[in-house]
Amino acid sequence: MVAEYDGFEPVIGLEVHAQLQTNSKIFCGCRVQYGAEPNSLTCPVCLGLPGALPVLNKKAVEYAMRMILAIGGSVRNESVFARKNYFYPDLPKGYQISQFDKPVGEGGAIEFTLDDHRKSVGLIRIHLEEDAGKSLHPESGEPYTQVDLNRCGTPLIEIVSHPDIRSPREAYAYLVKLKQTLQYLDVCTGDMEKGHLRCDANVSVRPIGSETFGTRTELKNLNSFKHVEKALEYEINRQINLIKSGGAVEQTTLLWNEKSQTAEMMRSKEESHDYRYFPEPDLVTLQVDNDWIARVRADLPELAEARATRFVSQYGIREYDAAVLTDTRSLADYFESVMSEFDDGQAAANWIGTELLAAVKDAGVEIGDYHVKPNHIADLLKRVKSGQISGKIAKDVFAEMVVSGDAPASIIKKKGLEQISDNSVLEPIIERLLDANPDNVAKYRSGKTNVFGFFVGQVMKETRGQANPTMVNELLKKKLDG
């Protein structure tokens, strides 16, 4: 599938940095925590003080392995940490410990469906590295910058794709799938606002049919997937216009400016780096044996697409609903919790996909933290299925569950909402109605049977919607026809 760009096609590769959600940092025991008091989570190792020695966090390696194996990549039995040298205020050591020519993971692919088209984007590598600190520029414009080194040494994986992406929309879909996979694996929260997931993009254009690559530029400062899509669109059009007007694209780094919706060239001294990589002398070669790889592989959870396929066959729900319900692992878990106590998959999917998700969205929380628990939803659905309450009343009960957090049974009892399925209650109501409306009874009996609906409506009104509709229909027919 080729996007429409005036005879040109974009060639896009993405580099994603994902913070691993370990408790402690990658080379020291300092806690990893977002939003802590600045510079409160540091030690001689992550501050890069002379003589401090790094010790590798095994959990960080395991999280990287999870991602590599989940996307079909291979974990190297031996990988090497390297120093990437550059000077920046938020990097106290003057170098970042990363991996260079022997990364922990190679190969694999992220696969996704876009417009009914199956796309596979190959990965070059996944490597482990440490995060830098954060520079804080005062908004009031004071002539200084503060630095918070809490983030120094937070474990990252960098996921580098082949330039297989051919449109900004594909880039967006790739990122959505990547984030979903990281979240399913419980290795990264994927929260871009907190910087847990960050993305840089390489982009060039070439005439459709060409096999060679054009000169590429690098886009940085992309703070959301939407920004990635917009920045790519901007940069693709800029490059095409430049080439069409006889110019040439220069290899450079651009910063996306969300306010002006343009990409600005970084100053020339920051354009190219000579990182002078060399093997980190304070760390031994990372050895990963095949037993360890096998153990991590065996522990991989079922991912979203596999789970959606299973939902369709196991619970008999529609494919669309299965995709909605497996969007996040916690939502899929919620659905399966409901299904452990209820047997109508489609009814549960309908409820969770509409009423529940709307309420969760209103509350602005994650479904896993929502106060209305799956057992209460299962209980409510069972009461609808058995006819104890109508679907309409169920919505009222649910609204009350959202407010009070009470169980359906106590709400139904407290508010007297049980469905009336008792002939001895319904019959007198119907008889009274027929007596009070002789004209309509006569109409019905003369063949104008459309007044039947009028009587049903009156019974429902009298019973505040609680009369069992099937029984009301039967009783009314009997009385009117008899």
Binding site for Zn ion (CB under 5 A): 28, 30, 43, 45-46
| Long-range residue pairs from 292-296, CB within 8 A, at least 24 positions apart, any chain | 292/65, 293/65, 293/69, 293/75, 296/62, 296/65, 296/66, 296/69
43 versus 114: smaller Cβ distance to Zn ion: 43
Provide the residue type at 102 as one letter: K
* Closest CB 151 distance from Zn ion, rounded Å: 11
**Residue 321 CA: distances (Å) to CA of 313, 351, 353, 443:** 12, 11, 7, 46
* Closest CB 189 distance from Zn ion, rounded Å: 21
153 versus 408: smaller Cβ distance to Zn ion: 153
* Closest CB 25 distance from Zn ion, rounded Å: 5
Residue among 81, 86, 125 nearest 99 (CA): 81
Residue among 220, 222, 199, 195 nearest 19 (CA): 195
Q: What share of the chain is helix, strand, coil (3-state, %, to 5)?
A: 40, 20, 40
23 versus 74: smaller Cβ distance to Zn ion: 23
Q: Which two tokens stand for residue 278?
A: 């060399």
- Residue 341 has φ and ψ, to the nearest 5°, of -125, 5
Helix axes 168-184, 58-70, angle to 10 degrees: 130
* Closest CB 93 distance from Zn ion, rounded Å: 12
* Closest CB 134 distance from Zn ion, rounded Å: 15
Burial of 430 (0-12, 13-18, 19+ CB in 10 A): buried
Q: CA 273 to CA 216: how far, in whole Å?
A: 16
* Closest CB 288 distance from Zn ion, rounded Å: 24
28 versus 467: smaller Cβ distance to Zn ion: 28
50 versus 447: smaller Cβ distance to Zn ion: 50
29 versus 428: smaller Cβ distance to Zn ion: 29
32 versus 472: smaller Cβ distance to Zn ion: 32
Residue 480 near residue 434 (C-beta atoms within 8 A) = yes
2 versus 49: smaller Cβ distance to Zn ion: 49
- Residue 307 has φ and ψ, to the nearest 5°, of -70, -40
What are the DSSP E strand ranges found in 46-108? 74-75, 78-79, 81-85, 95-99, 105-106
154 versus 326: smaller Cβ distance to Zn ion: 154
* Closest CB 376 distance from Zn ion, rounded Å: 44
Provide the residue type at 465 as one letter: G
Residue 231 near residue 260 (C-beta atoms within 8 A) = no
Q: CA 318 to CA 338: how far, in whole Å?
A: 17
Q: CA 198 to CA 458: how far, in whole Å?
A: 60
Give one word for 266, left, alpha or beta, with left for phi > 0 and alpha for psi -120 to 50.
Answer: beta
35 versus 141: smaller Cβ distance to Zn ion: 35
The tokens 């005879």 sit on which residue?
Answer: 7
35 versus 453: smaller Cβ distance to Zn ion: 35
* Closest CB 27 distance from Zn ion, rounded Å: 8
